[in-house]
Amino acid sequence: MDGLTLQFTPFLMPIIGAAIVLSLLAAYAARRIQTAPGSDVFFVLLLLSAWWCYTYALELITTDPAIMLFWVKLEWISIALLPVAWLFFALTYAGYSHRVNLSAVTLLSVVPAVMIILAWTTPAHSLLYANPGVRDAGNFIVFDTQRGPAFYVHVVYSYMLVAIATVLVIGVWLRSGGPQRQLALVMATGAILPIFGNLVYQIGLAADLPIYIDLTVPTFALSAVLFAWGWFRLHLFDLVPELGEPMTETARIDPAQVAQTTQERSLNLISLGLSVLFFLALVPILTLLLRGQSSTRPLAVAYILLYLFLLSVTIWRDGAYIVRAVGLTAVYLGLTLLDLRVSGLSPVVGLYLLAFCAFAAVLLPPRLTILMIVVGIVGLVAVAPAESPPFQQDIYSLVYLLLSLTMTAGMLIIALVATRRDIRTLLRFSRNLAQVLEVERKQLELRVAERTRALETSATISRQLSTILDQSRLVNEVVRQLRDALAYYHVHIYLWDEAVNALRMVGGTGEAGQAMLVMGHTLLPDQGLVGRAFTTNQPVIVPDVNTDAGWLPNRLLPDTRSELAVPITYGEQVLGVLDAQDNEVGGLGAEDSQLLQTIAGQLAVALRNARLVTQIQQEAEQAALINAINRKIAQTTDIDGAMRTAITELSRALEARETGIRLEIDGSNGYDH
């Protein structure tokens, strides 16, 4: 390896990718510990898996035997404890969380603790590893050793714990149903994968097959992802919400907020896509750098640091938008300058420079865009380009070129597509909102028209009530006006009749109303909705008469579906009830009640006035009659004539068949006729 202490292999990238994914899932699990019981055990499982991936990646990048053994010793922290954590996780998932206690943890951790001690005391003994060293696998240097007896004890113990955990998870799958069964199948698949990966690796070692990495590590990482899916019910839209509905539709459209939302969505999608593509691009670029001239090898660290910076921008979604947007454009500027330093004025540099300018213009405010472009110009002037080497026609150069094209043009297309989706959603929402507003406008106009008609009806009835003094004419005019103006199915009025102690119908609309008038229709105070309104002196609204046990059906009104009874009250005295009926369920409501209460109040005053006028007219007629009789009596000259005149006039006035006058004078009877 030309004296290098570090090496690079494409196999390294899947391990690092798995470590990053496991770290993110561990952070997610840590936030859910308080809300999701059992997440603490899952957090430990993810943490140990991530630790194994990181230390194994360091082992792969190392060529020095002593340093490689050091990384292997660190790996044993996870190798020994992972089966225990896996068993406890399976117990928790299967519903046996009460089994996860300090005593069980201590007991099951004895063998792993011994294995960790044996690993850290190697090579002082050969119980775990004998003659640890390295060997050249052709493409890169790998760790090579002979397994001691303790290693096989660990294999048996680990397989036993993993087998128990797998049986528990499969048991959950077998006894579950519906969506829970599907999630349990995902968990069971995740439990089987590491066993399969480790078996393939062990068989490959025994058969001396060209398997250069431990397949248990990446399969463990894949299992952790599956566990996260089954444990937290994770879906793609939970992890990447920008792939779902472009915008949240609200009742109010704020153009500034819409623009900000679109920019944030574009930033999130671009940073996420760039993180994935940049990670894939690290394989060819690091291979080219580490295999190239020694002067360019330190730039591999710069590429890794730039990727970590991009990853922080991607993960930090709660951060300030401007800071993250500047960070993303800075990543493209960094790629431009690094490629300029590595490959000179190549097409890839032009692509990155174009993407830098485009995203600065799209994601940043105008002043900040100008500032970033100035910074870019300064960087281009300060960084000396490498002499343009001839195009290297190998697979790594081709892959990096294609990935660079995707990282630039592809991300620009994603930004445009995201913006287009938001605009289409906004237009669709605007159309829907316009339709809703049009419907509401028409409904409002209808309500205003109905309210206007009701007010006009009330005013018309009020004017007519003030001019009509005949009670019969009064009630007939009211019911007619209400039916014609408000299109009620039926309207009638009941007045209290003291002679029969009942409510007598005195006016009604249509043939049914006339028929009930002819029959002398009456209701007792405890009958029907009319009686309830009279007794309680409160309006009674029944939107659906079939649901009210107190409703009294009328065979003359078969289509009644809703009813409104309003008491006619003058002061504290209830004079009667104004009753309206409709042929639609819910056809009568609060607005109708308010209108009829107003009319009922006016009607009560008019009825009171009509009765007073009738009473005054009767009293005046009686007084006139008495005066006329007195005058005729005064014109007579004797008592007999006066008596005859009085008898005649009284018989005529009272329409009596017989009239008599009895006088008592000193105990004697007078005339009797």
Whole-prediction pTM: 0.51
Co-location of 444 and 523 in the same domain: no
- Compute φ and ψ for 22, nearest 5 degrees: -65, -35
Q: How many angstroms separate the CA atoms of 359 and 367, rounded?
A: 14
User: Looking at 415, 436, 467, which one is the last position of a domain?
Assistant: 467
What is residue 387's DSSP assignment? P
For tokens 């775990």, the residue is: 128
pLDDT surpasses 60 at 238: no
Q: Are residues 453 and 475 in the same domain?
A: no
Whether the per-residue pLDDT at 502 is higher than 60: the answer is yes
- Per-residue pLDDT at 117: 94
Predicted confidence (pLDDT) at residue 255 exceeds the cutoff of 60: no
- pLDDT tens-place string over residues 370-397: 998 898 888 888 877 776 554 455 566 6
Q: What percent of the chain has pLDDT over 90?
A: 8
Maximum Cα–Cα distance for the chain, whole Å? 165
Element spanning 131, H or E? strand 129-136
Six-digit token string for 441: 């406008």
Across 72-86, 228-242, 482-496, the highest mean pLDDT is recorded for 72-86
| HEC string for 446-505 | HHHHHHHHHHHHHHHHHHHHHHCCCHHHHHHHHHHHHHHHHCCCEEEEEEEECCCCEEEE
Q: What is the pLDDT of residue 654?
A: 66
Where is 619: in which H helix or E strand?
helix 590-634
pLDDT digits (tens, 9 = 90+) for 110-156: 999 999 999 999 988 899 988 888 887 766 788 888 888 999 899 89
pLDDT per position as a tens digit, 168-188: 888 888 887 776 777 777 777
SS3 assignment, position 56: helix
Query: What type of residue sits at position 399?
Result: V
Q: 515 and 415 in one domain? A: no
- Looking at the predicted structure, is the pLDDT value of residue 239 above 60? no
Angle at 22 between CA 20 and CA 24, to 5 degrees: 70
Among 497-501, 506-510, 661-665, the minimum mean pLDDT is found in 661-665
Higher pLDDT, 80 or 268: 80
Domain boundary among 467, 489, 524: 467
CB 540 within 8 A of CB 529: yes
By the 8 A CB rule, do 492 and 514 touch? Answer: no
pLDDT class for 228, splitting at 50, 70, 90?
low
CA pair distance 36, 182, nearest whole angstrom: 20
Are 100 and 229 in the same domain? yes
User: Alpha-carbon distance 34 to 569, whole Å?
Assistant: 64
Tokens 């940043």 belong to 364
Which CATH number belongs to the domain containing residue 201 in this structure? 1.20.1070.10
In this predicted structure, the answer to whether residue 204 has a pLDDT above a threshold of 80 is: no
C-alpha–C-alpha distance, residues 629 and 626, integer Å: 5
CA distances from 529 to 199, 380, 554, 558 (A): 83, 90, 12, 16
Q: Are residues 435 and 520 in the same domain?
A: no
Do 452 and 508 lie in one domain? The reply is no
Asked whether the beta carbons of 485 and 453 are under 8 A apart, the reply is: yes
Range of the domain at 602: 470-614
* Residue whose entry in the numeric block shows the structure tokens 């919400």: 241
What is the pLDDT at residue 77?
A: 93
Q: Which residues contact 100 (CB under 8 A, 6 or more apart)?
A: 41, 88, 91, 92
CATH label of the domain that carries residue 502: 3.30.450.40
Interval 77-86: pLDDT, tens: 999 998 999 8
From 467, 502, 532, the end of a domain falls on 467
Q: What is the mean pLDDT of the chain?
A: 79
How many angstroms separate the CA atoms of 543 and 588, rounded? 6
384 and 276 in a common domain = yes
Confidence (pLDDT) at 544? 92
Both 479 and 517 in one domain: the answer is: yes
The span from the CA of 187 to the CA of 165, in Å, is 11
Q: Token pair 């405010």 is at which residue?
A: 365
Per the structure, the count of domains in the chain is: 4
Same domain for 641 and 552, yes or no, is no
Same domain, 580 and 607: yes
User: b or e along 623-660 (b: 16 or more beta carbons within 10 Å of the residue's beta carbon)?
Assistant: eeeeeebeeeeeeeeeeeebbbbbbebeeeeeeeeeee
Share of the chain above pLDDT 70, in %: 81
Q: In terms of domains, do 440 and 493 share one?
A: no
Residues 398 and 411 reside in one and the same domain: yes
Instruction: Name 103's bridge partners.
Output: none
Cα separation, 236 vs 415, in Å, equals 19
